[in-house]
Amino acid sequence: MTLERFLAVFFLILVLGYGYTAFFIIDASLPPFIKMNPVWPSSFPKIIASIGVLIALFLVFSKSSQPKKSDEELEAIRNYHWQSAFLLLGMMVAYALLLRPIGFIITTFAFLSLGAIALGERRLPLLFVIALTCAGGIWYLVQQVLGIYLRPWPWFLSGGF
């Protein structure tokens, strides 16, 4: 089994788990009055899961145009930037854990800046301006336009937890 086909099977398993959640677990906990609506909270996840299954099945059963040797595939896996990938995953976890106590703007600014630096961006002044603009702009859209409360600053500046 080639690496591409293995990844397609992994993606298929992931999408099937997501689809099971969308079709059965989300719908089981809905109150009766929502079940009368034409669009449920699980409608979009069902569409995503269905499209994902179709794409994964296409990838699993399609023929590879250029078969690679297994040695080349192993060399390609060794050449991936695993440190950057795991560093970004760790930063995502830290972002989720620090979002409430530190605040949205500072946490988002730090995540965008450090993530871009981890991926190799070296124009720091431009990076900081873009990260600050994005963090502030997203906060403004979510807080002011959509009306969803996001604590913008750390807990000691916002009046506690």
Put simply, whether the predicted model's pTM sits higher than 0.95 gets the answer no
Residues 151 and 88 in one domain: yes
Between the alpha carbon of residue 136 and those of residues 41, 103, 123, 133, 143, the distances in Å are 29, 12, 20, 5, 10
Residues 12 and 48 in one domain: yes
Domain end call among 28, 60, 77: 77
**Whether residue 91 sits in one domain with residue 63:** no
Are 57 and 13 part of one and the same domain?
yes
The domain boundary residue, chosen from 77, 92, 119: 77
- Give mean pLDDT, residues 137-149: 88
CB-neighbour burial class of residue 112 (10 A; exposed 0-12, middle 13-18, buried 19+): buried
Same domain for 95 and 135? yes
Domain count, the chain: 2
Domain that holds residue 19: 3-77
For residue 52, what pLDDT band results from cuts at 50, 70 and 90?
very high
- Which of 17, 42, 77 finishes a domain? 77
pLDDT tens digits, 107-138: 999 999 999 999 888 999 999 999 999 999 99
Same domain, 19 and 52: yes
Burial of 107 (0-12, 13-18, 19+ CB in 10 A): buried
**Domain check: are 13 and 66 in the same one?**
yes
In this structure, are residues 1 and 7 in contact, taking their beta carbons and an 8 Å threshold?
no
Q: Say yes or no: 154 and 112 in one domain.
A: yes
Percent of the chain with pLDDT over 70: 89
Report the Cα–Cα distance between both ends of the chain, in Å, rounded: 52
Q: How far apart are CA 102 and CA 147, in angstroms?
A: 20
Query: Do 32 and 51 fall into the same domain?
Result: yes
Same domain, 9 and 73: yes
pLDDT per residue as tens digits for the range 94-103 = 999 998 888 8
Token duo for residue 90? 């760790």
Residue 68 has pLDDT above 60, yes or no: no
Average pLDDT, the chain: 85
